[in-house]
Amino acid sequence: MALGSGKWCRYHCHLLRDMLWCKANGLFDSAVHYAQLAGNIYAMGQLMVRGGCASRPAAVLQEWFAWLAA
């Protein structure tokens, strides 16, 4: 998958499939989890924005942002 600026990202097919399935069914927390497993910061960020961070408990957000900062 091209990310622009000549950078590429490699997906693990099963993680991508599961992430997309969860996203399509409104299971954003699970989709974020699969993005984490795939190590895809870009997809995780998009899911966090589209999934409505404001509606998540503070503990979940802390976990997500800690993962992004690592």
Domain borders along the chain are 2-69
Tens-digit pLDDT profile for residues 7-66: 555 556 788 888 888 989 989 889 999 999 888 888 888 888 887 777 889 999 899 989
19 close to 43: Cβ distance less than 8 angstroms: yes
pTM for the whole structure? 0.74
3-class SS of residue 8: strand
Residue-wise pLDDT for 17-33, tens only, equals 888 889 899 898 899 99
Coil/strand/helix, residue 61: helix
Output phi, psi for 56, to 5 deg: -95, 150
